[in-house]
Amino acid sequence: MPRCDAPGFAEAVEAIVRENGIRLVVPTIDTELSAYAEAAGRFAALGARVHVSDPATIAVVRDKHLTMQVLGAAGVPVPETRTEAELRADPRSLGWPVFAKPAGGSASRGLAVYASPGDLPESFPEPMIFQTRLSGPEYTVNIFLDQAGELRCAIPHLRLQTRAGEVEKGRTERRADLAAIARKVAAALPGARGVLCFQVIDDPRHGPRVFEVNARFGGGYPLAHHAGARFADWLLDEIDGRPCRAHDGWREGVTMLRYDDAVFLG
């Protein structure tokens, strides 16, 4: 397979779909989403659905600065955010320290905290955004929107321990405030479909703040699935034309623990 940002990526996947009679294609990394969103109509002509939101939604979520603008305008609580140019023009606009991340980053790449204006490097290799540094418990909220765009399920889990941006230990929690935020996120992204997830820090000073949206299955989805939010099954129902069984009756207090194992051969 070519890289997802290389010419011919969509065509290579189309060939696999055609040869194997595939009916559902599920992207799992952010960098694939734009290519799949643009080619979704071509896959549909082959009888295959690509599990991806519309191109306008993907354009928003793949630009973290635009994400904050769109969500904030829709009443979603988000942290104060500045571009590099805005922060350098007014270094006191956020207060210090500030949290920095690439505007088009993924998998926790390039994250940094700067304590003062003097700690900023002279330049960055890519566009960056800067936000008020938040502290407090961190949650991922996995959501499922049906083919009409209706929010059918929102299941938060507390990220008890993470590594490289992925949850290692998590526990499902019912919180009315996070469910209300989920409804606002869905309303802010009317072209969203299927599975998305967003991340929240519940800051003791500022309250819950959404700082990330991923228009795909998140790495912690197995916890949601085990707790009864069976998004994968609901997607298959849609593919088979069965009535949507999506619901919000998942179990609270379900805990997931991940660990590494060593396998030796020879």
Residue written as tokens 């379900």? 254
- Residues across the chain: 266
pLDDT at 194: 97
pLDDT in tens, 3-12: 999 999 999 9
pLDDT at 229 over 80: yes
pLDDT at 108 over 80: no
Mean pLDDT rounded to a whole number for the chain: 94
pLDDT in tens, 181-223: 999 999 999 999 999 999 999 999 999 999 999 999 999 999 9
pLDDT at 107 over 60: no
The model's pTM: 0.92
Q: What is the 3-state secondary structure (H, E, C) of 140-188?
A: EEEEEECCCCCEEEEEEEEEEEEECCEEEEEEECCCHHHHHHHHHHHHH
